[in-house]
Amino acid sequence: MIEKLRRNNLYDLMDFVSETKDNFEDFYISLGRERKQLNSYQNIKFYIDRCLKHGEFGLGNLKQGYLITWGFFDKSERKYVKVLAKNPKAIRNLLTIFLFNYCDSDWWIRCKIANPLNRVCQSMGWVFHGGRGMELLLFRPKSKKIIIEGKEND
């Protein structure tokens, strides 16, 4: 069952990150101009301890993966979604639950072109907003109710 991320999930998230390689290095937060990959105990603890207190939130479990937000802690204009999941079906499940519960904000995803997250998001109605080399910026405008488009067989 996909659950809301809480402080007591620190070790679950650590276990998942250590077992699941982030081949695309898209599971990170940005502090200033520095990217902090969420692949070390120190960075995950920082996110869990400090960021969850200041408005960030996440979803997930050990079987499928984790989805976190970024942009509330640093009061950024854009609110980002970061996903690390086992497979495209897990990505779709995490995003569906996330958008169902948090559709009242504009959301952004920056990911590598080759990341399966890109294909799943575009099949769910996320819009290409720009690119920078090997990275894409995808946008999902806020809505009053969830609208998911596309095929189920990603």
Predicted confidence band at 152 (pLDDT cuts at 50, 70, 90)?
low
109 occurs within a structural domain: no
Range of the domain at 62: 3-104
Q: Indicate whether 147 pLDDT > 70.
A: no
Tokens of 87: 């497979």
41 part of a folded domain = yes
Tell me: pLDDT of 20 over 80: yes
Structural domain includes residue 43: yes
Residue 37 inside a domain? The answer is: yes
Q: Give the rounded distance of the alpha carbon of 66 from its chain centre.
A: 7
**Count: domains in the chain:** 1
Q: What are the DSSP calls for 8-46, one per residue?
A: GGHHHHHHHHHHS--TT---EEEETTEEEETTSHHHHHH
Q: What is the pLDDT of residue 143?
A: 83
Residue 121 has pLDDT above 80, yes or no: yes
* pTM for the structure as a whole: 0.90
Residue with token string 């982030």: 22
Q: Which residues of 32-61 are buried (b: 16+ CB within 10 A; e: fewer)?
A: eeeeeebbeeebbebbbeebbeeebbbbbb
Does residue 92 form part of some domain? yes
Residue 118 lies in a domain: no
